[in-house]
Amino acid sequence: MIDHVSLKVKDVAASKKFYETALKPLGYKVFRDGGATEIATVSTTSFSDTGLAVNSTHSYQVLAFDAALNQSAKSNTATATTQLAGALVSLALNPATVTAPNPSTGTVTLSGPAPAGGLAVTLTSSDTRKARVPQTVTVAAGQSTATFTVTTLTGQLGGGQNPVTITATLAGTGRTAVLNVLRP
């Protein structure tokens, strides 16, 4: 066993830079929920874990490795809870007052872009005899808004304004807007 090595160099700064580069971590192995097998190998210090159930909590550890495949010990554990990408933040109707049977356009807005596959927002009307909405509207992947048509009906309208509450719901969060339907 060699316990002491002496090297002579002409350019200490260049040598130091070479060894720091050669010995820096080449990559990182990512482990989830105490697993013994890595779920990913990355070359940077950031990682995105996709395809997990919404509102689920997971623990993560990483270890670094270099070009010689030396490995560090696993890191301390970090935990994260998944969230729904793009929470429902608003529902708007334009116009908010219509004369039946003219339609209104509803717009649902998310807090951010919908994930791959989009997000289906459930729609309801408080009085389907006066105003009807589709059962759902889908916010397309990468988008943060979607529109739908509110169809108004004339058969059950009283005099003056006939308020109908339209509700949009996503992952337990609801938003409402009132449509005033006028008799023709």
With cut-offs at 50, 70 and 90, classify the pLDDT of residue 159.
Answer: confident
Distance between CA 144 and CA 135 in Å, rounded? 19
What pTM was computed for the model? Answer: 0.58
pLDDT in tens, 54-79: 678 899 999 988 877 888 899 999 99
Question: Are 98 and 179 in contact, with CB atoms under 8 Å apart?
Answer: yes
Topology annotation, domain 12-81:
Immunoglobulin-like (2.60.40)
In CATH terms, the superfamily for domain 88-182 is Immunoglobulins (2.60.40.10)
pLDDT in tens, 17-47: 776 666 666 888 999 999 989 999 888 888 8
**What residues does CATH 2.60.40.10 cover in the chain?**
88-182
Question: Are 176 and 167 in contact, with CB atoms under 8 Å apart?
Answer: yes
In this prediction, residue 6 carries a pLDDT of 66
Q: What mean pLDDT, rounded, does the chain reach?
A: 87
Distance between CA 7 and CA 78 in Å, rounded? 41
